[in-house]
Structure 1
Amino acid sequence: MYYFNISFSLLYTDIPFHFYKNHIERGIILNMSVTIKDIAREAGVSVSTVSKVINGSSSISEATIQRVQYIMKLHNYYPNQRARSFAQQATHNVVFISRLERDIAFTNPHMFEILCGVQKALGKKDYALTLCGVGAEDDEIAVMERIIAQKSADGIMIHGSAISTRLAELMNQTGFPHIVIGKPDFDSQLCWIDINNYLSGEIATKHLYDCGRRSLAFIAGHLADQISAHRLQGFRTTLVQKGLPVNPDFIRYTDSTKDGSFDVMKELLSAGSLPDGVVCENNSIALGVVKAIKAARLSIPDDIAVIGFDDYPFSRIVEPMLSVVNIDVYDMGLQAGSLLVRKIKNPMLQIQSYTTLPQLMVRASTAKE
């Protein structure tokens, strides 16, 4: 005789207790050799009914669905995914393509938070997620062509770091289900979602204005960095709207490193007139800017208020703690995963939208205690 416990939280209320009692008294053994025929026989239904339950058919009654699901759980039964995929002409796999290089966790930490959100959304729909790293543009084209030709995935998610005009042409020609994380910096028919970085720049600049700052600087990333460019555009627009001058000397570009940003900010501070507020395009830049302000023996926020973007990974370790315009990139990943599933089911669906509103988080670097 074999014994096992059934948690009451797993019992389906629409199934008579004697149904559970019969299985307990018979001492059913949990094993991996059970087949769909066994499940059908135990549940008193046909094999096709079990198959419909597995595939989420709406033509089966709720009571039957619960009974079949209970038997499957009881036997620890999982359908053969390969056979199921073959029957449905689907892989239930999504490939996430991104540039992957050494130290990527430090240079692009948000990518993994996005991945976690994507995986959560896909997992709810029984899709697996495969991460694929690419290098040169030719690699990206070859990888994409192979995935499409071999039908090794139902859909592709492309990180903005890996997109190109040639890749866009391939996706448009094939019509393969896809979502790009980040708005491409060229006109295209690609499906994409992005954060409104323009709005983020406006929010950061308006906050400094509301704090009484009137001489504002923007420390940007690379000149070609589109995220930085959009945040800078929001900064410029807000200055004009508030009737403040846009001082070219107060807009500086960096290599987005702490040391590079320190040198740029040091040069700005030694140039003559000082800003009383600084918008830093990312956390790494903020580290260098704060270090340069302290090295000049100036106080934050008394002399210069500082605000950055994203609450991860450095904003909480800066002293004083950094005010930021934060983006929930995990939620962005969730939305991207859900939208791609919709796109897979409806390849004609066109998606080009901004998601996840920025949120201002005020801390000591802009607010006097």
Structure 2
Amino acid sequence: MAVTIKDVAREADVSIATVSKILNNKPYISESTTQHVKEVMKRLNYHPNAQASNFKYKRSGNIVFLAVTELHTAFHNPHMFEILCGAQNVIRNKDYNLPFMGVSDTQDAYESVKKIVGCNTADGILVHGSATSRPLVDFLVKNNFPHIIIGRPPFASSTCWIDTNNRVSGQMAMEYLEECGYTQIAFIGGPKSDEISRHRLQGFVSYMNINRLTIQDDFIKYGTYTKESGFLMMEELLCQPTLPDAVICENNQIAMGAVHAAEKHQLSIPKDMGLITFDDYPLSQLIDPPLTVIDIDVHEIGRQAASILLQKINNPALQVQSFVTLPNLIIRSSTQNQNKMSHSLI
């Protein structure tokens, strides 16, 4: 038979109310009594009934992580699970469960959120950018339901969100390549409609404009986040009269395709052309040569998102809209410092 709070109170020779206060971290109980009761709990192997406690305090004990999932999501979007792990590391110490809810599209996400709020099955929700839509965001704001959108929504809203600054990522990539001595730099990315790709490109273009560097229109290509698209975009670059001496690839899949296209044209990376990408997925080190990357600490984004959401659950009036992490440059062998090489030859 399971040990009850009455058993603990009797064994510790205190009242049930005292045990309850200790379980709920209430003040005015002496440290010695608290330690004594906790030792009794441990000796009796007592675990409080979380479901009953949640019912009493009108809480579900759940924080939902919502994201769009499809075939090969783990391969094409691995940062989603790093974010999830970061959030879990915070939430597991706060007496909350973190159920993962995968949905087919943004409409499905919207319907799922309405059900969560209507049935009171969660105390808060972390919404991955893949599941974000204006109806979903408007619904959460209207109902004042504790939430954090992971990734800045591509529209104006009073919703709570956190993100990394992808414009800074694009600027960092360009700044590093210029420091290395590259001058003819191309950018191959995802669809024009994609927010992340567009912001990274804006950072690249902004740096070029501020430093009065020439931007060649035919050095900017749009495609999809696939190896095949990366190959085709690189092929287009390599069939032009003037070749770039460095290429910024918007993700690892595109970079893999770009490397294969360079090999087809018998170009050596980094000897003939430098290459840099974003996000330090395991794939970036498996490609030959290992890729120089502008990395984003997505695990920390998950931690920050969960921490802020816990604060918002306790203080529904809290509003947060911010960039929480800065990118980090990891130099590997897909780029080389042309300036240093020139000096060494003198």
TM-score category (smaller protein): over 0.9
Q: Does 1:183 align with 2:117?
A: no
For the pair shown, the structure with the greater C-alpha radius of gyration is 1
Q: Give the structure 2 partner of residue 63 of structure 1.
A: 32
Q: 2:188 matched to 1:240?
A: no
Any gaps of 5 or more consecutive residues in structure 1?
A: 1-31
Query: C-alpha separation between the residues in 2 aligned to 1:141 and 1:359?
Result: 34
What's the secondary structure of 1:187's corresponding residue?
coil
The answer for the alignment partner of 1:54 in structure 2 is 23
Find 1:360's aligned residue among 306, 329, 334: 329
Aligned partner of 1:9 in structure 2 is: none
1:97–1:156 CA contact under 8 A, matched in 2: yes
Equivalent position of 1:75 in the other structure: 44
Matching residue of 2:286: 317
1:174 to 119, 128, 143: 143
Q: Does 1:35 align with 2:4?
A: yes
Q: Who is 2:256 aligned against?
A: 287
Give distance in 1, aligned partners of 2:111 and 2:167.
34
| CA RMSD between the two structures | 1.4
Matching of residue 328 in structure 1 with residue 297 in structure 2? yes
1:181 CA displacement:
0.6
TM-aligned CA distance change 1:208 to 1:100, over 3 Å: same
Q: Does 1:127 align with 2:96?
A: yes
Q: What per-residue deviation string (whole Å, max 9, x for no partner) do you get for residues 201-249 of structure 1?
A: 1111111011001111111111111111111011011111222111111
Q: What is aligned with 1:200?
A: 169
1:106 paired residue number: 75
Q: Contact (CA 8 Å) 1:322, 1:364: kept in 2 or not?
A: yes
Structure 1 distance, partners of 2:231, 2:111, is 40
User: Residue 112 of structure 1: CA displacement?
Assistant: 0.9
State the 1:51 CA deviation.
Answer: 1.2
SS of 1:170's partner is: helix
**AA at the equivalent of 2:121:** S
CA contact (8 A) 2:12 2:40 kept: yes
2:197 maps to 1:228: yes
1:350 aligns with 2:333: no
- 1:271 aligned residue: 240
Aligned to 2:109: 140
- Structure 2 counterpart SS, 1:133: strand
Identity %: 48
**Structure 2 CA distance, aligned partners of 1:64 and 1:123?**
27
Could you tell me how far 1:118 is from its partner in structure 2? Answer: 0.9
Aligned-partner residue type, residue 33 of structure 2: T
Give the aligned residue type for 1:186: F
> In structure 1, how many angstroms separate the alpha carbons of the residues matched to 2:70 and 2:128?
14
TM-score, reference length from structure 1: 0.89
Question: In structure 2, what residue type is equivalent to 1:361?
Answer: I
CA distance in 2, matches of 1:125, 1:199: 33
**How far apart, CA to CA, are the structure 1 residues paired with 2:234 and 2:256?**
11
Distance 1:58 1:230, change over 3 A: farther
1:92 paired with 2:27, answer no
Equivalent residue number for residue 24 of structure 1:
none
The CA deviation string for residues 42-90 of structure 1, in whole angstroms up to 9 with x for no partner, is 2232211211221122333333222222221222211001110011111
Distance 2:32 2:248 in 1: 59
SS in 2 for 1:274: coil
| 8 Å CA contact retained: 1:155, 1:340 | yes
CA distance in structure 2 between the aligned counterparts of 1:293 and 1:63, rounded to whole angstroms = 71
- Pairwise CA distance, 1:140: 2.2
Deviations 1:172-201 (A, max 9, x none): 110000001100000001100111111111
More divergent stretch after superposition (49-58 vs 354-363): 49-58
Contact 2:106 2:130 in 1 (8 A): no
